Chains A and B, each alone.
Chain A
Amino acid sequence: MSVIHLRALSGGALIVLLLVSGSVFAQESADRQNYLDVRTVVQKEEIVVGDEGETTTRLVAADRVLPGERVVYTITFTNVGSEPADNVMVTNPIDASLTYLQGSAFGAGMRVEFSADGGQSFAAPEALRVADGNGGERSAEAEDYTHVRWTLPGVLEAGTTGVARFSAVVD
């Protein structure tokens, strides 16, 4: 186990270095963590208007993003180890400049929960409460969410990949 621990750490150090350098190619290099390989991709949701006025949505690179536009985050996690992984939970913070798009979080077979307190506690949307500023509580709105969390019931078998996704609007 100690070997695993060290390799996981070295992977983390690599990420930090890339962050400092500001490289946009971090996603290319942060692979081969032990047991789990986790990647995030951000794309922009673009509406294509056809000749008949019909619209379809497609995802394009997030190279030109303006306030009011939607971005989609896709997190893929692959069990690159030799043993099944269990208790798999994917936690993703929602940037301060983003508002979670209600109903957009998706992950096949996974339970989706949210946090409105910086990731300290998670609950389903209908159970999530926040302070109303008047000493009471109210239901949390999408703009209150600070984190999304997906929980995979059962195990992630060796060699298999899970996908979690959510959309947000740039404030």
Chain B
Amino acid sequence: MKTVNRRLSFLAKLGLMASLLFSGQQALAQTAAGTPVNNTASVSFSVGGIPQTAVDSNEASFVVDRRVDFVLNQVGTALTPVTPGLDDVFVEFVLQNDSNSALDFDLAQLTLANGDPVRGATATGAAMDAVTIEVAEFPASGGDPDPVLGAGRTAVTALAPGDTIRIRVYADTPLTLVNADIAGIQLNATAALGGAPLTETAGADRLDEVDNVFVNGADGGGNATESQTDGFSVTAADISAAKLSVTVEDPINGATDPKPIPGAFVQYSITVTNNGGEAATGVSVADTLDLTLVALRDGAYNGGASNVDLGGGNFCNADADATDGCTYDAGTGAIAIATPDIAAGGAATVSFQVVVQ
């Protein structure tokens, strides 16, 4: 036999959804902890038909106790996408006080290890750097400013019954994370009052004092801490390149079945494919020509104006001037070509031609 109060039994029957609804209703008009509830009955009567002075009973009293109940939830429905090297990213939580008393909350964050569950997924890869808690200025329900990194509010004070407050955990994304990695964060919120975590009142009769009773939903009650995980899913660009060469013209056969003989034009096409989940920007293709065998052919494209075809009707000229993103060092044979941005799953092909020596 175990004993539960009426509400817990009710919740057990209806499950979590009912629990949320029920606590929502509770939040509307809960009697504040510490409220005395007094009762005195009065009996009027007659004796022999003559009304007598009414008699009052004793006063039966109790004090409404502190129902410590709060929920910590993630904001949004999915992991937060990040790219390696991106700083000051955040996950957001909402803390709701369903108690019948204002409460303080101590907050603590920790990074999850590989293999730990994170919001329906599993943490993989490196942990986030520089993990920092920031609390919104005061209840989010009032349309307050976002929890700002650097504001330094790392605890919740005097959250009124029924109020919610937003909490962000900021972090930096390490460059060691790769595409499809998941970095997890856990936030712990511990109910406190007067600078100390709340403890549940044990045992005996405290008719006239405020007892603490934990009825936290998520982990079944019995302690003052609620935990919630959230995390970052890494979407990085994942680049691969392939190089093709085609002889386009030779001095003997022209453009018909040309052979790579001295004086022939050979076109190199380098295709860069983005296999990652994020657009690749600032991609530069570098190649070095063996100047003993070939020389860069100037004016191969764009009506003689450019020596590099970027695809899609775009061109650049690889020379000592880097302003168009393409450079060529005639002394070393080093050529560098800035490609257009490459969407996730997309590809870009750049081409240049050489003259066989």
List the interface of chain A (C-beta within 8 A of B): 1, 4-5, 8-9, 11-12, 15, 18-19, 22, 24, 26-30, 33, 35-42, 44-51, 55, 61-71, 73, 75, 77, 81, 83-93, 95, 97-98, 156, 164, 170-171
A18 to B37 alpha-carbon distance, docked (Å): 16
Partner of A89, one of B1, B45, B48, B61: B45
A83 to B354 alpha-carbon distance, docked (Å): 128
Asked if A69 meets B7 with Cβ closer than 8 Å, knowing A38-B57, A40-B58, A95-B37, the reply is yes
Cβ contacts B61-83/A at 8 Å (1 or 0 each):
11111010000000000000000
Residues on A with C-beta less than 8 A from B51 are 87
Q: Which of A4, A35, A67 has the most CB of B within 10 A?
A: A67
Partner of B52, one of A28, A35, A39, A170: A35
Whether A95 lies near B39 (C-beta < 8 A) is: yes
Whether A70 lies near B6 (C-beta < 8 A) is: yes
* B256 at interface by CB-CB < 8 Å: no
Size range of the chain B interface in the assembly? 35 or more
A93 to B37 alpha-carbon distance, docked (Å): 11
* B55 at interface by CB-CB < 8 Å: yes
Partner-binding segment picked from B131-139, B200-208, B313-321: B200-208
Residues on A with C-beta less than 8 A from B4 are 47, 49
Closest 4 CB pairs of A and B: A27-B58, A38-B57, A30-B58, A67-B30
Residue in chain B with minimal CB distance to A95: B37
Asked if A81 meets B47 with Cβ closer than 8 Å, knowing A47-B4, A49-B4, A61-B207, the reply is yes
A88 to B45 alpha-carbon distance, docked (Å): 4
Whether B39 lies near A42 (C-beta < 8 A) is: yes
Chain B 19-69 interface residues, beta-carbon cutoff 8 Å to A: 26, 29-31, 35, 37-53, 55-65, 67
Asked if A49 meets B9 with Cβ closer than 8 Å, knowing A65-B62, A97-B35, the reply is yes
Residues on B with C-beta less than 8 A from A39 are 57-58
Quote the shortest CB–CB distance from A122 to chain B (angstroms).
Answer: 12
A12 to B54 alpha-carbon distance, docked (Å): 10
Partner of B43, one of A24, A47, A55, A91: A91
Partner of B41, one of A29, A35, A75: A75
Partner of A63, one of B35, B60, B207: B207
Asked if A63 meets B41 with Cβ closer than 8 Å, knowing A36-B55, A39-B57, the reply is no
Partner of A66, one of B58, B204, B213: B213
A37 to B41 alpha-carbon distance, docked (Å): 11
Whether B2 lies near A69 (C-beta < 8 A) is: no
Residues on B with C-beta less than 8 A from A4 are 52-53
A88 to B62 alpha-carbon distance, docked (Å): 27
A65 to B64 alpha-carbon distance, docked (Å): 5
Tally the A-B contacts, defined by beta carbons under 8 Å: 188
* B100 at interface by CB-CB < 8 Å: yes
* B249 at interface by CB-CB < 8 Å: no
* B3 at interface by CB-CB < 8 Å: yes
Whether B60 lies near A41 (C-beta < 8 A) is: yes
Whether B59 lies near A12 (C-beta < 8 A) is: no
Quote the shortest CB–CB distance from B33 to chain A (angstroms).
Answer: 9
Asked if A15 meets B6 with Cβ closer than 8 Å, knowing A65-B65, A93-B39, the reply is no
* B91 at interface by CB-CB < 8 Å: no
Whether A45 lies near B6 (C-beta < 8 A) is: yes
Whether B60 lies near A171 (C-beta < 8 A) is: no
Residue in chain B with minimal CB distance to A158: B47
Whether A42 lies near B41 (C-beta < 8 A) is: no
Whether B31 lies near A8 (C-beta < 8 A) is: no
The 22 sampled A-B contact pairs (Cβ below 8 Å) are A5-B53, A8-B52, A9-B53, A26-B61, A27-B59, A40-B41, A42-B39, A46-B6, A47-B6, A50-B1, A61-B205, A64-B211, A66-B64, A69-B6, A71-B62, A73-B60, A77-B57, A86-B46, A87-B44, A88-B44, A91-B44, A92-B39
Whether A67 lies near B26 (C-beta < 8 A) is: yes
* B5 at interface by CB-CB < 8 Å: yes
A61 to B208 alpha-carbon distance, docked (Å): 12
A37 to B45 alpha-carbon distance, docked (Å): 12
* B215 at interface by CB-CB < 8 Å: yes
Asked if A85 meets B58 with Cβ closer than 8 Å, knowing A50-B1, A68-B7, A171-B29, the reply is no
Residues on A with C-beta less than 8 A from B208 are 22, 24
Residues on B with C-beta less than 8 A from A170 are 31, 37, 64
Residues on B with C-beta less than 8 A from A1 are 50
Quote the shortest CB–CB distance from B167 to chain A (angstroms).
Answer: 26
Residues on A with C-beta less than 8 A from B26 are 67-68
Whether A86 lies near B35 (C-beta < 8 A) is: no
Q: Which of B30, B46, B55 has the most CB of A within 10 A?
A: B55
A11 to B43 alpha-carbon distance, docked (Å): 14
Residues on B with C-beta less than 8 A from A84 are 47
